[in-house]
Amino acid sequence: MKREILYEVDGVALDFSVGEQHVTAVQKGSIFIPKSEITIIFGPSGSGKSSLLNILSGLQKPTSGSMKYKSENIYTSNQDSLAYYRAHELGIIYQTNYWVKSLDVLDNVALPLYFLGYSRADAHDKARSALERVNMQSYTHKYPYLLSGGEQQRIAFARAIVNDAPVIIADEPTGNLDSKNGDRVIELFTEFQQNEGKTIILVTHNLEYLPIAQHLVQIQDGKMTQIEHKDITPTVKQLLSDVQNRISTLAAKGAKK
Amino acid sequence: MMRNTRGVDRKILLMIAYRNLVSKKLRTALTLFGIAIGIGSIYFLLSFGLGLQNIVTNEVIGNQSIKTIDVTTPNSRIIKLDDITNQRVGDIAEVTTLGKAYFYPGSFRLSNSESDAIVYGIDEGYEQLTYLDVIEGVLPTQAGDIKNPIIINIAALESIGLSSNPSAVLGQTLSIQVPLEKVSDNLEALKQEFTVAGIISSGGGPEVFVLSNVFRELGVDAATQLKVGVKDVASIEMVRSQIESFGLETQSPADTVEEINTIFRYFNFMLLGFGGIGMIIAVLGMFNTLTISLLERTKEIGLMVSLGARSIDMRLLFVFEAVLLSLFGAVLGIVGATVLSALVNWLLNLLAGTRGVDGTFWLFSYPWWLFVGAILFMLFVGFVVVWLPARRAEKINPIDALRRE
Ligand SMILES: Nc1ncnc2c1ncn2[C@@H]1O[C@H](COP(=O)(O)OP(=O)(O)OP(=O)(O)O)[C@@H](O)[C@H]1O
Ligand SMILES: [Mg+2]
C-alpha cells in the first residue's frame, strides 16, 4: 500500500515572547503526517506537543515555515477559511474537556455542525448517531460537565466524529482517565482508523499506547524527530525497556533506604 | 477545500445566547430588573408628560378644531368684515368652510330674571367650525320649525339660577336686548323675543346664540369675527398670510397648541433627564452582566472557535444576548410603568373625587410611538453597551483561552 501524505510541516518553528522572555516551543524542523494512519506525537511535559498540535489544527500560526494540508498552505488563507478547515476537516479532542455549560450533551455534540451551518434538527440527528457510536445515546439530555471523566471523554469523542471529518486530533485524550477508561478511548481511535480510514493524530506521554501508531513523532525540548515506520517496533521496545530499567533502579533505591 | 462557511444559523446563536441567560437565572433576572427600571422610568415619565400635555391642550383649545383660523379686523371703521371681504377670504383655494359671527355685549331676560350676556349671531359655517356641545335640544341652524330659535349656555343659566334643571328651559320665551346703537350710529337696538331651542355647555361666561340673520336684518353689514376652516394643518400658515395681506388680523388654535408644545418639549426633556438616571442603572447593570459573562465564558468561546466557529459569530452571540436582555427588559419595564401609571391615575382620581372634582381624568398618555420608541431606544442602548464586550469576544484567542486553567 502506497502511503499518502496528508500534512507537510516544512521548516516550522514556533517562538513565544512574553515580555523579555523568549520561549522556543517548537524548534525549526520538518515532519509529515500520513493519511489514514495513526500518528502519535510523544515527549515529556513542556516539550512542545500541544504547540505542534495547535499548528496542525489551524489555531496557531507558526513563527516560520509552512504547514500544508492536502498540499494547501493553511495559514495563507483568511480567518473564515481557517474556521471552515477546523469545522469541516477536523475533529478535536482535548485532555481536559471543555463544554458550553448551558447546553446539554446533544447540543454540545452538535456544535461543530452548527458552525458548518447545519439546521438544529439535522445537527441533532447526526449528533444522536455519533453518540450511539460511542454508546452514549442515553446521555443526550444530561449536562456534560456533570458526568464522569470517562463519560465526558466519550462524549468529546462523539463531538469529534460528528462532522465525519477525515482527521481527528487529540491532545492527551487519556490524560485524566484511569487505564481501563483510557484503553476504551484508545480502542475507539483504532476502530475509527481501521474501519473508516480516518487520519488520527494523537498526543500522549503514555508509552504503552505507542504500538498502535503507524507513525511516530518524538519531541524533546521542541525538537521534532520522526521515527521511520520500520523503526517503530524496535523504538517502542527500547523505550519500554528504558522504562523497565527506570522502575528497577527506583525500586532498588527505595529498597536501600 | 477552503470555501467559506455558510456560517452558523442565526437561530442557533440566538438559542445559545438564550440558554446562557437562562442558566444564570438570578443574574439575568437582576439585569432585566435594572433595564426595566431604566426604560420603565423613562416610559412612565414621558407618558405622564404627554398625558399632561393632552390635558392642557384640551383645556385650552377645547373642542376647537386646530384646522381653523379666526379672523378679526384691527379697525372696524377702516376694514370691515363685510360681504366683499368675506368673499375674498372664502375664495382662497385652501379654505373649505367660512363661518361668520356677530357678537355684542347685551342682556337677556328669562322667567323674570335678567342677566348680562354676550349675544352671538352665527351662521352654519361658524356653527360647524366651533363644535358647540349641545346638552339639550338643538343648535340654531337645526332648529327647523321653531320660530326665532335661541341657544343658551349653562353659564348663562347659572347667572339666573336655573342651571339645575336645564331641560325645563327648553321652549320657553327669552327676550334679548343688544344696544346696537353703540356699534354704529345708524343702527337701532335689538329688542326681540326668542324661543329656547337648545342648551350648550361650552363657554366660561353667559352666552346666547341666535341666527346671524337677526343682526343682518337689522342692518349690521359687517361680522365681528370670521372663522375659516382650512384643508389641513399644513396650509394654515399660507392661508393666514394671505388673509393678513388683506389687512386683517388672524389667530389660530394652532398657535396655542404650538406654544403648549414648546413648553412641553422642555418639560419632557426634563422628565427624560430624570428617567436618564434610571437608565444609567440599566446600562451599568447590563454592561456588568455582559462583561462577567464574557470573562466566565472565555473558555467556552475559545472552545467554540477551536471547533470551527468564526470569531464574528462569537461577537454576534454577545450581541444577541444584549438584544434579548434589552427586548425583554424593555417590555417588562413598559408593562410595569403602565401598571404603575394606571395605579397612580386611579389614586389621583380618587383624591380629586374627595376634593369635589367631578368627572374622571386620564393623566397618562401611551401613544404607540412611545411604546415602539422605548423598545427601539433600549435596543440601541443595548447595542452600544454590548459593543465592547462583543469586540472582546471576537478577539478571544482560543489557545490562550483554553490554556488558562
Ligand atoms: N501561548 C504561550 N505563551 C508562552 N509560552 C508558551 C505558550 N504556549 C506554550 N508555551 C511554552 O512552550 C513550551 C511548550 O508548551 P506545550 O504546551 O506545547 O508543551 P506540551 O508538550 O504540550 O506539554 P504538556 O505535556 O505539559 O502538555 C512550554 O515551555 C510552554 O510554557
Ligand atoms: Mg500539552
Q: How many CB pairs under 8 A join A and B?
A: 101
SS3 content of chain A, % helix, strand, coil (to 5): 45, 25, 30
Q: Would the CB of A18 count as within 6 Å of ligand 1?
A: yes
> Are residues B9 and A57, on separate chains, in Cβ contact within 8 Å?
no
Q: Are B188 and B218 in contact (CB under 8 A)?
A: yes
**Number of Cβ within a 10 Å radius of residue B108:** 24
Distance from C-alpha of B386 to C-alpha of B280, rounded to nearest angstrom:
15
Q: Is residue B51 part of a domain?
A: yes
> Do residue B235 and residue B327 come from a single domain?
no
> Do residue B104 and residue B247 come from a single domain?
yes
Q: Are A205 and A43 in contact (CB under 8 A)?
A: yes
Kindly provide the ipTM of the predicted complex, given to two decimals.
0.90
Cell of B119: 349675544
Over pLDDT 90: what percentage of chain B?
A: 40
Distance from C-alpha of B85 to C-alpha of B101, rounded to nearest angstrom:
14
Of A70, A77, A84, nearest to B308 by CB-CB distance is A84
> Do residue B34 and residue B123 come from a single domain?
no
DSSP structure class, residue A3: P
Q: How much is the pLDDT for B62?
A: 63
Q: How much is the pLDDT for A56?
A: 95
**H-helix segments, B24-116:** 25-61, 83-90
Q: Which residue of A has its CA nearest to B312?
A: A80
Q: At what angle do helices B253-296 and B298-306 cross, to 10 degrees?
A: 80
Strand partners, B153: B200
Q: Counting every residue, how long is chain B? A: 405
pLDDT at A231 over 90: no
In chain A, what residues touch B8 (CB-CB under 8 Å)? Answer: 114-115, 117
> Do residue B296 and residue B380 come from a single domain?
yes
**H-helix segments, chain A:** 49-56, 79-89, 105-115, 120-133, 149-161, 179-196, 232-256
Torsion of CA A208, A210, A213, A215, to 10 degrees: 180
Give the mutation candidate from B2, B15, B312 for the A interface (greatest A CB count, under 10 A): B2
Q: Is residue B155 part of a domain?
A: yes
> Are residues A70 and B2, on separate chains, in Cβ contact within 8 Å?
no
Give the mutation candidate from A79, A96, A111 for the B interface (greatest B CB count, under 10 A): A111
DSSP structure class, residue A48: S
Give the mutation candidate from B15, B23, B307, B403 for the A interface (greatest A CB count, under 10 A): B307
Strand partners, A224: A219
Least distant ligand from the CA of A16: 1
Of B11, B309, B402, nearest to A115 by CB-CB distance is B309
> Within a 13 Å sphere around the CA of A212, how many CA atoms are in the beta-carbon half?
25
Q: Is residue B285 part of a domain?
A: yes
The helix or strand, by DSSP H or E, that contains position B263, with its residue range, turns out to be helix B253-296
Q: How much is the pLDDT for B80?
A: 84
One-letter amino acid of B270: M
**Number of Cβ within a 10 Å radius of residue B114:** 13
> Do residue B321 and residue B396 come from a single domain?
yes
Distance from C-alpha of B171 to C-alpha of B153, rounded to nearest angstrom:
15
Among B207, B226, B251, give the residue marking a domain's end. B251
Q: Is residue B343 part of a domain?
A: yes
Q: How much is the pLDDT for A168?
A: 95
> Do residue B145 and residue B185 come from a single domain?
yes
Q: How much is the pLDDT for A14?
A: 95
In chain B, what residues touch A157 (CB-CB under 8 Å)? Answer: none
Among B251, B284, B301, give the residue marking a domain's end. B251
> Do residue B340 and residue B303 come from a single domain?
yes
Query: Which CA distances in Å does B199 have to B125, B131, B169, B307?
Result: 19, 13, 9, 82
Report chain B's C-alpha Rg in angstroms.
33
> Do residue B179 and residue B129 come from a single domain?
yes
Strand partners, B113: B110
Query: Which CA distances in Å does B35 have to B21, B26, B286, B374, B378?
Result: 15, 14, 7, 12, 8
Q: Comparing C-alpha atoms, which of B367, B358, B348 is closest to residue B54? A: B367
Q: Would the CB of A21 count as within 6 Å of ligand 1?
A: no
Kindly give the parts of chain B with pLDDT less than 70. 1-6, 60-64, 358, 404-405
Q: How confident is the model at residue A130 (pLDDT cuts 50, 70, 90)?
A: very high
Q: Comparing C-alpha atoms, which of B331, B338, B340 is closest to residue B379? A: B331
Q: Is residue B1 part of a domain?
A: no
> Do residue B57 and residue B74 come from a single domain?
no
Strand partners, A223: A220
* Three-state DSSP class for residue A44: coil
Q: Are B203 and B173 in contact (CB under 8 A)?
A: no
Backbone torsions φ then ψ of B302, nearest 5 degrees:
-55, -45
Among B228, B251, B274, give the residue marking a domain's end. B251
Chain A nearest-CA distance from B360, in A, is: 52
> Do residue B319 and residue B339 come from a single domain?
yes
Q: Are B191 and B237 in contact (CB under 8 A)?
A: no
Partner A contacted by B398 (CB < 8 A) = yes
- Nearest-CA residue for ligand 1 atom 13 is A25
* CA of residue B234 relative to chain centroid, distance: 17
Q: Comparing C-alpha atoms, which of B283, B278, B280, B382 is closest to residue B340? A: B278
In chain B, what residues touch A107 (CB-CB under 8 Å)? Answer: 16, 19
Average pLDDT of A27-34?
Answer: 94
Distance from C-alpha of B108 to C-alpha of B152, rounded to nearest angstrom:
10
Q: How much is the pLDDT for B2?
A: 45
Strand partners, A31: A9
In chain B, what residues touch A59 (CB-CB under 8 Å)? Answer: 306, 398-399
- Residue numbers of the domain that contains B230: 68-251
pLDDT at A127 over 90: yes
Least distant ligand from the CA of A42: 1
Q: Would the CB of A48 count as within 6 Å of ligand 1?
A: yes
pLDDT at A1 over 70: no
Q: How much is the pLDDT for B64?
A: 63
Q: How much is the pLDDT for A64?
A: 93
Determine the distance separating the centroid of ligand 2 and the alpha carbon of A171, expressed in angstroms. 7
Task: Name the residue with cell 368675506.
Answer: B86
> Do residue B137 and residue B279 come from a single domain?
no
Distance from C-alpha of B199 to C-alpha of B133, rounded to nearest angstrom:
8
Q: Is residue B5 part of a domain?
A: no
Q: Are B132 and B151 in contact (CB under 8 A)?
A: yes
Distance from C-alpha of B13 to C-alpha of B8, rounded to nearest angstrom:
7
Q: Are B249 and B73 in contact (CB under 8 A)?
A: yes
Query: How many domains are contained in chain B?
Result: 2
Q: Counting every residue, how long is chain A? A: 257
Torsion of CA A166, A172, A176, A179, to 10 degrees: 80
One-letter amino acid of A200: I
Of B22, B300, B310, nearest to A80 by CB-CB distance is B310
Say whether pTM exceeds 0.80. no
Of B2, B22, B306, nearest to A84 by CB-CB distance is B2
Q: Which residues contact A142 (CB under 8 A, 6 or more apart)?
A: A104, A105
Q: Is residue B2 part of a domain?
A: no
With left for phi above 0 and alpha for psi between -120 and 50, is residue B104 left, alpha or beta?
beta
Determine the distance separating the centroid of ligand 2 and the alpha carbon of A92, expressed in angstroms. 14
**Number of Cβ within a 10 Å radius of residue B220:** 21
Q: Are B200 and B150 in contact (CB under 8 A)?
A: no
> Do residue B388 and residue B360 come from a single domain?
yes
Q: Is residue B4 part of a domain?
A: no
- Could you report the per-residue pLDDT of A65-76, keeping only the tens digit for each? 999 999 999 998
**H-helix segments, B153-217:** 154-159, 213-217
Q: Comparing C-alpha atoms, which of B136, B73, B60 is closest to residue B100? A: B73
Q: Are B60 and B260 in contact (CB under 8 A)?
A: yes
Q: Which of A80 and B42 is assigned the larger pLDDT?
A: B42
